[in-house]
Amino acid sequence: MNKRKKAAEKEISYAKWGYIFIAPFFIAFLVFQLIPLVQTVYYSFFEYYRSGLTVIGPNPVGFDNYKALFESDFLKYTGNTIILWIAGFIPQIIISLLLAAWFTDVRLRIKGKQFFKVVIYMPNLIMASAFAMLFFALFSDNGPVNAALISAGILKTPFRFLSSVSGTRGLVALMNFLMWFGNTTILLMAAVMGINPALFEAAELDGCSPRQTFFRITLPMIRPILVYVLITSMIGGLQMFDVPQILTNGKGSPDRTATTLIMFLNNHLYSKNYGMAGAISVILFIICAILCLLVYFNLNPTESDRKTGKKGRAARKEAVNG
Amino acid sequence: MNKKFKAFLSIVLAGVMIFGVTACGGGNGGGEEATTEEGKVLNIWCWNDEFQTRFNDYYPEVAEAAEDGSTTTLKDGTVVNWVIEPNENNNYQNKLDEALLNQENAEADSKIDMFLVEADYARKYTNSDATMKVADLNGVLDATADQYDYTKEVVSDADGNVKGVSWQACPGLIAYRRSIAKAVLGSDDPETVQAALADWDKFAETAQKMSDAGYKMLSGYDDTFRPFYNNDAAPFVEDGKTLNIDKNIMDWVAMTKDYTDKGFNNKTSLWQPDWAADQGKDAKVFCIPACTWEIDFTLTGNADPDGTKDPEKSAWGDYAVCVGPVSWCWGGTWITAATGTDNAALISDIMIKMTTDADILNKIATEKGDFVNSKSVIADLAANYEGNDFLGGQNHYALLSDSAAGLSLKIASAYDQGVIEKMQNSMKDYFDGNVDLEGAKANFETAIKEIYPEIETVNWPE
Amino acid sequence: MDKKPSNIRTIIAYIVLILLTFLCLFFFYILIINCTRSHQQIQSGFSFLPGKSFAQNFNNVIHDAKLPVLSGIKNSLIVSSCSAILATYFSALTAYGLYAYNFKLKKPAFIFIMLILVMPTQVSAMGFINIITKMGMINTLYPLILPSIAAPAVFYFMYSYMQSSLPLELIEAARIDGCNEFKTFNRIVIPIMKPALAVQAIFAFVQSWNNFFIPALVLQENSKRTLPILIAMLRSADFLKFDMGKVYMLITVAIVPIIIVYIALSRYIVAGVALGGVKE
């Protein structure tokens, strides 16, 4: 008790260091990002685009851009984006948790663990555009995937992946999964490695099964990182662009079902339509912010939780030492 | 931010003007000299090195080209500075637009002097003040008398002023497989085949014959788009806010849907691997509407992937060309002079030498394979060219010299690039059976209004 | 009793891992196969067997004077490694500032960073170009490097990692030992954060290495261009010289340095296990 009070007094005197440490971040942010961002919001209230080489505007139009936005198929693109994200994210998080648990489990002896760990991230090293070129060739109507499926007797005629809604969405999800599951696994592994090994040793001594260890120790301990993965993946998902853009050649076809919100935004940048593009950005920003705050405050330990967490940690430490 | 910057600029400009007035008051008439003197740096903007290689190889004033391709030095010491911006993601036009909008504020040596454009978006630039009238460039207009008319129509502004020149013409043709023609039509002679493809009705009859014999008439949906579009009655957009879809376009939609449902095509799209494979030896596709440049660019390679030039192992020699149901053209690269250039005399000379000089054009045709933009050079080739091996010895210049002369592209508009792309994309869903025609039209309108906010209505033909 | 299920678990693990490995490496295999094939062979369809054009494609890429591959690699390396270092170090510093200290603006600062994390950046690109033009940084590598100092996603990861692995008691102990604040951060916090730093360094490096959009807007001279722009240039090359074999070769050449960096750093992650765990 006494100690904590002392620490609190000290923290006050250390406050200036907090400001010093966060200063570079905020300075860089102000210079390179804030002004463009403010401009984005500002222009969302203007008619401002180019017709050929003629600049139209900026003329103030109030909320007209927002009105036009909600009269468009905005909700459809929101739906597309969420479907594409979830279809890739669910397998991604399951596989990543599984792999992170396996890779960090000392009891599970896998030969070449090191090799597997290195390999799973490698698809992320290929540029999205190059990756899409390869996917395109693989899944084309007369490509090797169709040939294999036909010779295996599964299909009679080629399945035209990129001409069917589920085919296109499936490929986008598969590409996103392949590109990002290694990334997530590494994040989760790093989180698990941050856990005090003594905890796992204690669990083993107590006769916990791998499943119990995973659900009772690993998962709760890496909760902050899990929330991080969920939030960043959600943001990445809502801002999904390059994979569907390149795979569908910028078309978002068939029937605009692979058109994501940022592809919608990108269409408006063709005519430098900063008014509409700004409005989409602002709405997207609000959606993202609401979803992230919901996730953050529902799943992350609150202040009081953190204190009990600390207590728990101390208690566990005692148990280990004892 | 922009406003502030503008305010700042206007203050600076005001300062300069005051300074300028006082300077002139001093009786120093230096201003006039500056306008007539040629700059020592020529900035040329383009998206690849197609023109650059031709310039370095054939422009007589070239003294030395830098090895890394960034500059070319001319004999009088002028440095040609190549700004090559890749096309991907519309990057070339994005950067070009920024630079052109800043042209007035740029220093003389960093102003754009020349830039290159393609047919589908040429009007975007020629309709604006960013490009100079060819008539204002000394002697260029007179020198271009021998060029094909359509190459001038594409780059004319609303008042008919020509604003660019090209060294190539790109008449369309129909390339077909000789072996399939023999098997189904009884002869591979271009005249027999032309008779079987003379109009769209005969084309459909032949397609049916091909289908009955187990062949496909065409590879994909987009192949026949250009022949139809090219014969539209009016530009897509004339008043800047209404997009009129020509009946020709809807004929293309109806025909392609019909062909697709009857199995006359392989449901591919342009440039895709499946489309390319359909031009190979083992493909069962009879013909492909193509352009002169496609023969060298795609057809030869796709028909003979291993470069064997062996008719046994590839489709080498198994192709021939005929004009087909209509005459049409596709593509090409134009050179334009940017307003504000300080190298007008040099630009005139480059335009004249590179696009009208018979010797140079002859070399470009024979060494680079371009269908050059000169009626007399092409007539010469039509008479003397010994025949193209790939086309089984056919002299395609002879075939195309007439149809090229009759080409017209008055309907070019600044909106072509976007409209064509969106039309092909939206209709693909209809051909694939993912949406009905009304759905495809609605998607097209949505897509158009996204990229062209100024378009208020889209009119479809009855 | 414990042995049997663990055996089954091992077998399942092997099956899943081998399947995933196949999927991951398969694309590299095709990439390499395509480097050995000529343009026309690639266009005419797919093949699982190599062609004979490897040397030719390689020579085409290396000896194309208009394609400064070496300076492209150099520029990409400079931009990516500087970005990775700045992003990880300053994000860790910022996260530490918000994690270890109490001050008035702590909460607002945290919420502010979380908000900018969710702001889509596509549309602000033009504003960004305007600003760096006015700062005279256009056509230099700085605008591709300096903004990494403010990387909200990296910050958030560092913050989360500190929450799970950096006990405040440790910092208090360091203070009692008389370390000043910077020393505490550099000597005590950084080593504990090594796994997190290595992970985010890889991610930041890869992201910057493959970035096309902003570098294409900023860089104008051939000698300053990064690899993705060179690849895009090859893809929009003169149609008479358009060569997919060359494109695939350059893609492959562009992947080699990043694989080396990745493997070097991935060893560090493993070494980080001991560092991250034992310290507590």
Q: Where are the domains of chain B?
A: 40-169+331-383, 172-328+415-459
Mean pLDDT (chain A, rounded): 82
| C-alpha–C-alpha distance, residues B53 and B84, integer Å | 12
Taking alpha carbons only, the member of C203, C179, C205 closest to residue C190 is C179
CA angle B168, B172, B173 (to 5 degrees): 130
What is the C-alpha separation between A22 and A9, in angstroms, rounded?
A: 21
Q: What are phi and psi of B372, to 5 degrees?
A: -75, 160
Residue A41 lies in a domain: no
Residue range C132-182, pLDDT digits in tens: 888 888 889 999 999 999 998 899 889 888 887 788 888 888 888 877 888
CB contact under 8 A, B276 and C44: yes
Residue A37 CA to residue A277 CA, distance in Å, equals 12
- The CATH number of residue A78's host domain is 1.10.3720.10
Cα–Cα distance for residue pair A233/C268, rounded to 1 Å: 25
pLDDT exceeds 70 at position C239: no
| Bridge partner list, B290 | B173
Neighbours of B23 (CB within 10 A): 13
Rg (CA), chain C: 23
**Among C28, C34, C123, which would you mutate to test the A interface (most chain A Cβ atoms within 10 Å of its Cβ)?**
C123
Residues forming a β-bridge with B118? B333
Give residue C238's pLDDT. Answer: 54
Instruction: Please say if the pLDDT value at position A170 is more than 90.
Output: yes
- Measure CA A256 to chain center: 23
Q: Which residue has the tokens 């390679």?
A: B301
Predicted confidence at residue C241, as pLDDT, reads 58
Q: Which residue of B has its CA nearest to C222?
A: B70
Contact A116/C21, CB-based, under 8 Å? yes
First to last CA, chain A: 23
Quick one: CA dihedral A179, A180, A185, A191, positive or negative? positive
C277 in Cβ contact with A193 (< 8 Å): yes
Cβ pair A142:B128 closer than 8 A: no
Asked if B406 is an interface residue toward chain C (Cβ–Cβ < 8 A), one would say no
Q: Which residues of C touch A142 (CB under 8 A)?
A: 45
A19 inside domain: no
Q: Is B456 within 8 Å of chain A by CB?
A: no
A263 part of a folded domain = yes
- From the list C46, C91, C199, which residue is nearest A144 (CB)? C46
Q: What is this model's ipTM?
A: 0.82
Q: How far is B440 from chain A (nearest CA, A)?
A: 8
The CATH superfamily of C55-278 is MetI-like (1.10.3720.10)
CB contact under 8 A, A163 and B240: no
Among candidate residues C270, B272, C107, B421, the one with its CA nearest the CA of residue A251: B421
Which of C222, C236, C241 shows the shortest C-beta gap to B88?
A: C236
Nearest to A163 by CA among B16, B42, B268, B1: B268
Residue of C150, C212, C228 lying closest to A33 (CB–CB): C150
B90 contacts A270? CB cut-off 8 A:
yes
Q: Does C104 touch chain B (CB under 8 A)?
A: no
Structural tokens at position B369: 């394979």
The residue in chain B having the minimum alpha-carbon distance to the alpha carbon of residue C242 is: B297
Of B14 and A299, the one with more pLDDT: A299
Which residues are bridge partners to B220 per DSSP?
Answer: B268
Average pLDDT over every residue of C47-76: 86
Helix (H) or strand (E) holding B116: strand B114-118
How many C-beta atoms surround the C-beta of residue B431 within 10 A? 22
How near does any CA of chain C get to the CA of B137, in Å? 28
Residue of B nearest to A137 (CA): B273
CATH 3.30.465.10 for domain B40-169+331-383: no
**Residue among B136, B144, B49, B138 nearest B373 (CA):** B144
Question: How far does B68 lie from chain C, in Å, by closest CA?
Answer: 4
pLDDT digits (tens, 9 = 90+) for A99-136: 988 888 777 778 888 888 888 888 988 888 888 888 88
Task: Tell me how far CA of residue B311 lies from CA of B218, B297, B315, B339, in angstroms.
Answer: 22, 19, 6, 52
Which one of B5, B54, B70, B314 would you mutate to disrupt binding with C, by most C Cβ within 10 Å of its Cβ? B70
Q: Does B425 touch chain A (CB under 8 A)?
A: yes
Question: Which of A73, A255, A264 has the CB atom closest to B439's CB atom?
Answer: A255
- End-to-end alpha-carbon separation of chain B, Å? 49
Residues belonging to chain B:
462
| Chain C touched by B67 (CB under 8 Å) | yes
Chains contacting C (3+ CB pairs below 8 angstroms): A, B
d(CA A158, CA A154): 10
Cα nearest neighbour of C265 on chain A:
A118
pLDDT tens readout for residues B265-300: 999 888 777 888 899 888 999 999 998 888 877 888
DSSP string, C28-54: HHHHHHHHTS-HHHHHH---SS--S-H
| Per-residue pLDDT at C89 exceeds 90 | yes
Residue A233: both structure tokens together: 């993946």
Cβ distance of A56 and B454 shorter than 8 Å: yes
Q: Do domains B40-169+331-383 and B172-328+415-459 have the same CATH topology?
A: yes
Cα separation of B410 and A7, whole Å? 82
Q: How many whole angstroms separate alpha carbon A167 and alpha carbon A160?
A: 8
The residue of chain B with its CA nearest to that of A263 is B450
Answer yes or no: do B297 and C242 touch at CB < 8 A: yes
pLDDT recorded at residue A12: 47
Cβ proximity of B143 and B356 under 8 Å: yes
The pLDDT tens digits for C34-61 are: 889 888 788 777 778 888 888 888 888 8
> What was the pLDDT predicted at B28?
38
C237 closest CA partner among C223, C224, C250: C250
Strand, coil or helix: what is A84? Answer: helix
Looking at the complex, does the CB of residue B278 fall below 8 Å from at least one CB of chain C? no
Non-local CB neighbours of C4 within 8 Å, separated by 6+ positions: none
* Omega of the bond leading into A210 within 30 degrees of 0 (cis): no
pLDDT score, position B60: 93
Is the pLDDT at A309 greater than 80? The verdict is no
* Residues in chain C closer than 8 A to A185 (CB atoms): none
* DSSP conformation class of A55: E
Class for domain B172-328+415-459, per CATH?
Answer: alpha beta
Of C214, C92, C98, whose CA–CA distance to C147 is shortest? C214
Give the residue ranges of chain B where pLDDT is below 70: 1-37
Contact C212 B88 (CB under 8 A): yes
Nearest CA among B84, B106, B98 for reference residue B39: B106
Is A254's CB within 8 Å of B434's CB?
Answer: yes
Domain that holds residue A176: 74-321
Please name the residue of chain C whose CA is at the shortest distance from the CA of residue B279. C44
Q: Work out the minimum CA distance from B172 to partner chain A, whole angstroms.
A: 26
Given this model, what pLDDT does residue B211 score? 95
Chain C environment of A284 (Cβ under 8 Å): 120
Domain count for chain A, please give it.
Answer: 1
Select from B151, B235, B229, B230 the least CA-distant residue to B411. B235
C228-C232-C238 Cα angle (round to 5): 150
Select from B95, B119, B92 the least CA-distant residue to B415.
B119
* Region of B332 on the Ramachandran plot (φ > 0 left; ψ -120 to 50 alpha; else beta): left
